[in-house]
Amino acid sequence: MGRNAFPPYLANPNYTDIVGQDMGIIGILSSVQYLTSEFTASVEQGATGSQVRLDFMKHGHDGISIESRINGGEYD
């Protein structure tokens, strides 16, 4: 099958989206859309002082970006 070729199973008149889901080639779409990741923050005592713990759910996003600053300084 070439790069732009149409997969032959799609041309079969018996093919349906349910068949594609059973074959694992079509995923089930979620009706829930998450525009942002969710997170919770907590403070824990570490070996040398307090530490911030971040737990997050990306909900399908590629990643998250975490920035910090100390005493109102510039973000790092």
Query: Per residue in 28-54, pLDDT tens?
Result: 666 567 777 788 999 999 899 999 888
Q: Which residue has the higher pLDDT, 62 or 49?
A: 49
Q: Is 57 helix (H, G, I), strand (E, B) or coil?
A: strand
**Gap between the Cα atoms of 20 and 36, Å rounded:** 30
Q: Is the pLDDT of residue 74 over 50?
A: yes
Burial 34-49 (b: 16+ CB within 10 A, else e): eeeeeeeeeeeeeeee
Q: Is the pLDDT of residue 16 over 90?
A: no
pLDDT of residue 71: 87
The residues spanned by each domain of the chain are 8-57
